[in-house]
Structure 1
Amino acid sequence: MQPFPALKGAVETDLLVIGGGFAGLSTALHAAEAGQSVVLLEAHRIAWGASGRNAGFVVPNFAKVDPDGIRGMLGPRAEPLINMAAGSGDLVFDLIRRHQITCDAQQSGWLQPSHSDAAFAKAKDRVRQWSALQRPVQVLDAAGIAAMTGVAPDRSGWRGGWIDRSGGVINPVGYARGLARAATAAGAVLHEASPVTALQQVGAEWLASTPQGQIKARQVVLATNAYAGGLWPGLARSFFPLRVFQVATQPLPDAVRNRLLPGNQSLSDSRRNLFTFRFDAANRLISGGMPIVPWGADRRLPRAIHRRLAQMLDLPDLPPLQFQWSGMASVMPDFLPRVVKLAPGLLAGFACNGRGIALSTAMGRELADWASGTPADALAIPLKPAAPIPAHALARLAPNALLPFSILRDRIENKR
């Protein structure tokens, strides 16, 4: 894809979107389709951040909370958010079809095998809750999981699990670039290599400065997720930044590829130390993980992920790694998407929480509705003020520091 030119000179627009990942691109596309004039600024390249660095899993639900739990947390405000998540996978694949985005997309489903009896009981309850919303979900016993994954129960320890058939797999960079082309076709103007160095309110409008230009806008959306930086004071302390590593092996032989995930689903199991895998279009095996100790993780963790893949999937001759990369995810204390009102006409959105593709795309549509006149407190995503996490400098280390205990609990539960 040809790069979008850096912003130069002075520009005026209805909506300024800061950040060229899934959330920002979806916002720009939907707002432009609604008739807004839109400018999007990306500091680096489209999909440079977490959007281009994830594993390509389309997962249309929440990472840690189910519909009943969200109802208990949000009361009457829960249903719009639940419905947004329920349809988020369909939204992604509908956009891909409508805009003819080339990104190796397959709406083949997302699998979550259960590593323990308690996790399998929870899977059954999750299916009950999502089935009540007419979602294409199904409980799978141990034999069903083994048939879909190609992994024997005595190897995996999986007791069963469930599938949401509205999920699937994509090439995330291809998807982001396709959204960028679609947004441009709808009338949005995109600029790469245009970091916002200052953002200030001038009367009823906002003025954003870049190294070579300025933009005056009626409304602004910060769609930077974990890459918030210091553009708005305190915003980066309102979430946990989580660095996640991904690897891709060299292509697997056809005989092995045909055994594993023959339906080409994406898979994330129920362990706290999450085990994931999928295949790309070239038969590379893709998986990921997070380190206990971040220092030196670039050298150490990819090898550990490779060993885990070989052990879990019974692949003593697993081809070596061909690629490795990492990116930053934003995790909210309640693990739910959030819209933050920073000032009149200025919103920030956070939707990763391990569900970046589907929920970030859906959040972009919500933010575009706000730009077109929907009150912020009427959006599907809860509207909250920016609330810095107490002792953030230490609290942000908790997910990594607690990982050894999570691994131990996973092993104990798996052996019961």
Structure 2
Amino acid sequence: MRSDPKSHGLWELTAPAPPVTGPLVGDAKADVVVIGGGYTGLSSAIHLAEGGARVSLLEASEIGFGASGRNVGLVNAGMWVMPDPLAGTLGPPFGERLINLLDRAPREVFELVEKHGIECELERAGTLHCAVGRKGLQEIQMRAEQWQKRGAPVEVLSAEETRRKIGGGNYTGSLLDKRAGTIQPLAYARGLARAALAAGVKVFTQSEILTVSDTGSRWRIGTAKGSVNAEWVIVATDAYGKGPWSQVRQEQIHLPYFNLATRPLPDHLRTSILPERQGAWDTRRVLSSFRFDRSGRLVFGSVGALERFGASVHRAWAVRSLRRLFPIALDVEFEAGWFGMIGMTSDNLPRFHKLDRNVIAFSGYNGRGIAPGTVFGSVLAPYVLGDVQEKDLPLPAEPVEERRFRAVREALYRAGSQLVHLTEARL
């Protein structure tokens, strides 16, 4: 997008074309204005329109421009925070309510894909959280126990079983989550946009918000060429928010994450590496993730930004790591490389904000945006429509948190990932 191959990489090359949209021109009226063309915004818009609301969606760039079009494509249940600590942090009734919502979140993604016929390379083979060393094994065992007592279909695999599932590696075990899967993330976002248009949503791209004003009963949202008047506003910009109501960005530390995609691998490697097509990632602090796309490209990623000196450092590390992980794959050649930003909150949990009168937002997905973003969108719709009260939402309303030294912390993430990748996995 915007002629930048490092923004969306493989996903831009292989996704179906986006639906035809354009900028907002002239003055319009709606019941709800949704700001942001990612998973949360599009899911909200679809469910609102299906509930009878008139909805306008404004996207400053293109559909899926933010994290929705740049991520790995793992459709996971839950958050990084384990269920018991999550429940303890939020307390009753929100803790278990959020856990239950996120437990079924992948299923809602899959049902939307099937309902709307979205072509997004859906794979429902589950995911593998791979343990590094004894500490990593203890971590996934604890995670499994906490989910199993809540009835989730997860199991811990031995080192040998993990090696068979992956086709390589030297992990001490893995957590197989049968609720999860993989998708082509940008294709999913574009498919949601088509579904929104079919439901009657007015979708406007290249429509950056320049002005907002409260008339007392409605909001007037102004762009370069037009405006929308609406009673409600849903801010669904998360880590890529700018302009009015961009304070959701201010409470997040940006963690860069990159992906590199090989050329389609030969058949003997496609059948030996991840033969069941799970998506995988490991328990390292500077983690690695890997998965296949539908055409047999191996997508390998980690923390870091593919810019300046970091680009060569991370690419060289990825080559070394893949050769160590899969010794049979000696000739590693990357076809695409891209990166984006993960918005990290102070406790690694998402937030629900009431930013102003009838202005609301879910944000802070902490690297788990696909399934949570989708279900949070479906939760916002009945709340705005008046079918659900605030006390029944999965998160309490909280003020926006001020994060100190954001720029310093973000610079440390970049430098730290480069330092790790300069020294790790050298042959």
- Counterpart-to-counterpart distance in 2, 1:316 and 1:32: 48
For the pair 1:385 / 2:399, whether they are aligned, the reply is: yes
> Residues 135-173 of structure 1, C-alpha deviation per residue, up to 9 Å, x if partnerless?
11111111111111111xxxx331112111111111111
- Alignment partner of 2:309 out of 282, 289, 296: 296
- Matched with 1:322 is 335
Q: Shift of the alpha carbon at 1:204?
A: 2.1
- TM-score calculated relative to the size of structure 2: 0.90
> Residues 328-383 of structure 1, C-alpha deviation per residue, up to 9 Å, x if partnerless?
22111111111111111001221421111111111111222221123334311342
- Counterpart-to-counterpart distance in 1, 2:319 and 2:273: 16
In the TM superposition, 1:29-108 aligns within 5 A as 29-63=46-80, 65-76=81-92, 77-108=94-125
> What amino acid is the match of 2:192?
L
Task: Provide the secondary structure at the position in 2 that maps to 1:396.
Answer: helix
Q: Shift of the alpha carbon at 1:134?
A: 1.7
- Counterpart-to-counterpart distance in 2, 1:95 and 1:293: 33
Which 5+ residue runs of structure 1 have no aligned equivalent? Answer: 412-416
Q: Shift of the alpha carbon at 1:310?
A: 2.4
- Alignment partner of 1:18 out of 32, 35, 51: 35
Task: Provide the secondary structure at the position in 2 that maps to 1:287.
Answer: strand
- TM-score calculated relative to the size of structure 1: 0.92
Residues 248 and 284, structure 1, Cα contact 8 Å, conserved in 2: yes
- Matched with 1:204 is 217
Task: Provide the secondary structure at the position in 2 that maps to 1:339.
Answer: strand
Worse-matched range after superposition: 118-127 or 76-85? 118-127
Task: Provide the secondary structure at the position in 2 that maps to 1:383.
Answer: coil
- Matched with 1:119 is 136
Q: Shift of the alpha carbon at 1:219?
A: 0.7
- Counterpart-to-counterpart distance in 2, 1:274 and 1:362: 26
> What amino acid is the match of 2:231?
R
> What amino acid is the match of 1:68?
D
- Alignment partner of 1:399 out of 409, 413, 421: 413
- Alignment partner of 1:188 out of 201, 208, 212: 201
Residues 159 and 172, structure 2, Cα contact 8 Å, conserved in 1: yes
- Alignment partner of 2:360 out of 312, 328, 347: 347
- Matched with 1:136 is 153
Residues 116 and 157, structure 1, Cα contact 8 Å, conserved in 2: no
In the TM superposition, 1:230-309 aligns within 5 A as 230-232=243-245, 234-291=247-304, 295-309=308-322
- Matched with 2:4 is none
Task: Flag the 1:407–1:296 CA change in 2: closer, same or farther, 3 A.
Answer: closer
Which 5+ residue runs of structure 2 have no aligned equivalent? Answer: 1-17
Residues 43 and 374, structure 2, Cα contact 8 Å, conserved in 1: yes
- Counterpart-to-counterpart distance in 1, 2:292 and 2:405: 40
Task: Provide the secondary structure at the position in 2 that maps to 1:384.
Answer: coil
- Counterpart-to-counterpart distance in 1, 2:138 and 2:19: 50
- Counterpart-to-counterpart distance in 1, 2:411 and 2:157: 36
Worse-matched range after superposition: 377-386 or 254-263? 377-386
Q: Shift of the alpha carbon at 1:390?
A: 2.0
Task: State, as a whole percentage, how many aligned pairs show the same letter.
Answer: 34
Q: Shift of the alpha carbon at 1:392?
A: 2.5
Aligned residues: CA RMSD = 2.2
Residues 29 and 229, structure 2, Cα contact 8 Å, conserved in 1: yes
Task: Provide the secondary structure at the position in 2 that maps to 1:130.
Answer: helix
- Matched with 1:213 is 226
Task: Provide the secondary structure at the position in 2 that maps to 1:108.
Answer: coil
Task: Provide the secondary structure at the position in 2 that maps to 1:119.
Answer: helix
> Residues 253-300 of structure 1, C-alpha deviation per residue, up to 9 Å, x if partnerless?
110110011110000111111111000011001011223896533444
Residues 210 and 243, structure 2, Cα contact 8 Å, conserved in 1: no
- Matched with 1:148 is 165
> What amino acid is the match of 1:124?
Q
Task: Flag the 1:306–1:407 CA change in 2: closer, same or farther, 3 A.
Answer: closer
- Counterpart-to-counterpart distance in 1, 2:102 and 2:343: 17
Residues 165 and 274, structure 2, Cα contact 8 Å, conserved in 1: yes
Residues 252 and 318, structure 1, Cα contact 8 Å, conserved in 2: no
Worse-matched range after superposition: 161-170 or 287-296? 287-296
> What amino acid is the match of 2:400?
A
- Counterpart-to-counterpart distance in 1, 2:415 and 2:338: 21
Residues 106 and 169, structure 1, Cα contact 8 Å, conserved in 2: yes
For the pair 1:331 / 2:344, whether they are aligned, the reply is: yes
- Matched with 2:7 is none
For the pair 1:161 / 2:174, whether they are aligned, the reply is: yes
- Counterpart-to-counterpart distance in 2, 1:149 and 1:160: 11
Residues 246 and 325, structure 1, Cα contact 8 Å, conserved in 2: yes
- Counterpart-to-counterpart distance in 2, 1:346 and 1:13: 14
Q: Shift of the alpha carbon at 1:104?
A: 0.8
Q: Shift of the alpha carbon at 1:33?
A: 1.3
